[in-house]
A and B are shown apart, each in its own frame.
Chain A
Amino acid sequence: MRRTTFRDVRAARRRRADSSAGGRWAALARYLRGAAPRGSALWWLSATLSLLLAATALSAASPAPASGASLAAARASVLRMRAAPPTALPVVARWTDATNGTAYSVQLTDVANLKPGGITRAQFTFTTPKGDQLAGVLLVAQLTDNSYVQSVGEAFSAARITCAKGVLATSGSGGQTIVYTFAAHFDQYALVAYAHLAYASAQDDKGISAVCGGQTGQPGETELDMLSGCDATTCTSPLDTAGPTVASYDAAMITAARGGGPAAWGPVYNASSQTLRGQYGADQFASVMSALVNKNGRITAITPVGGAPQTEFDAAGQGYFTITETVTVDHGGGKTTTATVTSYYLLEGGRWAFWFSQPAA
């Protein structure tokens, strides 16, 4: 089956406008194509009156929303959109794992120049659930599939464990000297990653022995994982999920705005970024959004404008993409308006989360 493109959607909308003979838009369209009676000397007056009528209509109410068929086509198109990968590595890449309360960041200035098989040193941090941070410099290698690994030691092999000494800077006061092993891997674009830290106090000989011997669950040893789109063996590319994320988010928003209770707002809430979820609980979010719908009108349609999104890194090394969409809003009493907004999706924990919107430029 041939894929529906945005061009198809626009063509369908044009055909629909043409076929609605007798409508205020149709008359204007016919005229502009030269369909008005050419014998009339007052054709310009007729045109001006038509425009005035159109402008008045515009100021009173927005055009009718697109039909269900065209919206479905647009949504189907969005569902298939794969985000374009970022054009370069960020200066610093950051990943967080909200489930485990951990985070990993790595400085990629020198890594960007690596070739497969190459090795360099890179500064990294690993944050523990308590907010303590281990910062250090470890080797990074690029693998043949263009992904990267960072590890203590040069072997980059699980069979050979190398320990290092470092200071775990504590959020409370002072720091703790530790002996640790560390291994991480991230994809070729630095979008998803996995990291593992095992450590013991530098004063704890048994703990050190366990850490450096690769033994798990031993007294004095602490093991922490950071999963952000990868686990210990595999990674899931977020590029393929960009389109489906947008489509499902838009659909959830329309459904919830239709008058749903807390349950209906749940999918919107769950697919939102921590920027929102950190401020509102699910029920509180549903309540505030319901009030906003009553005040600002109900979103009835969200139609993408433009092509596949481009994945970018912000200045802090966080992956995101933007998508511009036309939003149709029902204000009740037969009044509808449209607004064009650009929405930002942030890569959080390996998945795209709705971040925020702003009016389109």
Chain B
Amino acid sequence: MDPARRRRLRLPVVLTCNFLVLAFVLSCCNPPKPAAIHATISLCAVDVARAADFPNDACYTGTFHATGAQQALHITAVDKNGTALPNAQIKVTVAGANARSDSVTTDASGQATYQYSGSHTGTDTVSATLGSDSAAKSAHPAVIHWLAQQHVTHPVVLVHGIQEDATDFAHQFDPSVVDSDQASDGSKQTWTALIEALKLTYDPAFMKAFCYVDDVAWRTTPSACPADEAALRDCDPSLPPSSSGPPYPCISQGSVDESAVALAHVVVDLSAAAGGKPVTLLAYSMGGAVTRTLLAGCLNSAASDQSLCQQAAGMVNDTIFLDGAQQGSWLLTVKHGFNAATLSVQNITPTALSAFSSVLPLIEQNIYGVVNQKLGLNLNNPAETDLTPQSANILAHNSVQPATNVQIYTFYGDVEFGMDVTYFIYTLPANAYLPMGDLVMLAQDDNPLASPLWGGGSLCDSCGPLVNGYHENGRYHAWALRQKYTVNINGLVPILSVPDAVSAFQQVVNSPVQHLNVSQPVTQAPGTAIQVADSTHLAGTATTDMPYEILLVLMHGDGLI
């Protein structure tokens, strides 16, 4: 070959050889990840009520069911490569109140449905195993709470959160209430398991979804609101949600004080309709602030309204706070101009707290972005003002003890966040954790009379340390929904420049106990990973799911168990 031509070919050939050799080295050093050894079985329980609206989004870790009815469980089997296993024999084992064992065979797509009926009240735990490979079993069992269908009169009012639509709950209490957007967004139909549990025991005719004075329901489905509330409405349904009042648009972001007076009317009327029976309030998020205002006697309202609220507070026996806004949201503290870098946290030394000072403003922006995307907050709306820590509303309702006749049950998020720190090639593990509540509301000072600058969602008067995530004192009972997360601080780099970027902090924001996630089926369905201590000692296990614990508390109070 001509030497000149040979020289011209030299570089391409050498580069090709180089590529081949590197490919060889990489293939040696990066072997493919080994496949799963066994087949995988997954199992979920069909929630019949939810399936009526969302048939493709109604299978979760468990359900509540009336004894005698049929419970369907969906089973999916895949082999170690993730390929569907057709014609596989699946052994189904039911342990608990209705123990049994059966088998089903998967169809061509590797799926099977198992149905059974429970005749005994109590809890079943259902698991599935591949007949040909006993090591291939469902990672998580399904949990079915079997309840005897009853119609006990016990008035219940659900006071929902900011920006929510009462219709989403009225429809669940009474399916004849039609919600215009019911089928479009399953994430809005929340607290499903809890509502189903209550309806199996108590008469739905005495269960109401409270409508705020500016509730979204006044715009979407006015019939969802109790008829006697129409006179209390303080919004114009014809105004678009983006308009600012007064007059106010119907966006569930109105005055907490005004809505508390409206709630007082509902309590008085519902108790009267139920023959004077006391009312239980279920209060989520902003609903917690409305409820606290009522139980304090509506101190910022006119004298006649204060009297009404005191009367109504006397008719409430139990209040169940679900991430209730006891002291307001720290996100709103920041939005009103305060410096998140110097957040003060109870029971954390200033030194440990200083470890987070550089990231606090960044993660605050990230959390607010997520919340705001979902809720469309407007700081000029009355609700956002009222939910700001140390607002006139919060200072007033936290200036007195809630009505002393009321038993107070509080469930609150208790996320802990820690950071590993990498030095060149050395990574130091997190050695301090920041309590962040449910991310929207912190959980630090549970004194009913506290109004800290950074707000909070916990409430339990002098209850002492948590044991198994629970503590109590007299009429106060509180459960901390604890979740712990550790991320490397270098995983936060994306949010250094873009506040709402996806970063390692995403796993914290996606926590099942995050404020906006706590009401979703993944957190609430029986069998969920989010378990709480059973304070009643009636569940049969040391811990159970939130809805079952709430039901047991109410049933125990009513002498039903």
Contacts and interface: CB of A to CB of B under 8 A. Distances in A.
Nearest to A107: B337
A44 B339 contact: no
Interface stretch (B202-210, B316-324, B424-432, B524-532): B424-432
B180 interface: no
A341 B390 CA distance: 45
A125 B341 CA distance: 11
Nearest to B495: A315
Interface string A347-361: 010000011111000
Interface in A30-46: 32, 34, 38, 41, 43-44
B499 interface: yes
Interface in A169-183: 169-175
A47 interface: yes
B336 A47 contact: no
A145 B15 CA distance: 57
Nearest to B501: A315
A149 interface: no
6 contacts: A98-B354, A125-B338, A127-B339, A276-B355, A293-B426, A341-B425
B227 interface: no
B360 to A, nearest CB: 8
Given A43-B6, A55-B21, A314-B362, A278 B428 contact: no
Contacts of A276: 355, 421, 428
Interface residues of B, number: 67
A48 interface: yes
B14 interface: yes
A296 interface: yes
A355 B432 CA distance: 16
Contacts of B10: 34, 43-44, 47
A131 interface: yes
Interface of A: 32, 34, 38, 41, 43-44, 47-48, 51-52, 54-56, 58-59, 92, 94, 96, 98, 101, 103, 105, 107, 123, 125, 127, 130-133, 135, 169-175, 253, 268, 272-280, 284-285, 288-289, 292-293, 296-297, 299, 302, 312, 314-318, 320, 325, 327, 329, 339, 341, 343-344, 346, 348, 354-358
Given A175-B390, A292-B426, A297-B425, 16 more contacts: A51-B18, A107-B337, A135-B338, A169-B338, A169-B390, A171-B453, A279-B430, A285-B428, A296-B426, A299-B424, A314-B362, A315-B497, A339-B424, A341-B425, A346-B358, A356-B488
A51 B355 contact: no
B452 A173 contact: yes
Contact of A174 (B6, B395, B488): B395
A324 to B, nearest CB: 12
Contacts of B357: 96, 274, 278
A274 B355 contact: yes
A107 B342 CA distance: 16
B25 A59 contact: yes
Interface in B27-45: 28-29
B432 A278 contact: yes
B353 interface: yes
B417 interface: no
A341 B424 contact: yes
A92 B430 CA distance: 29
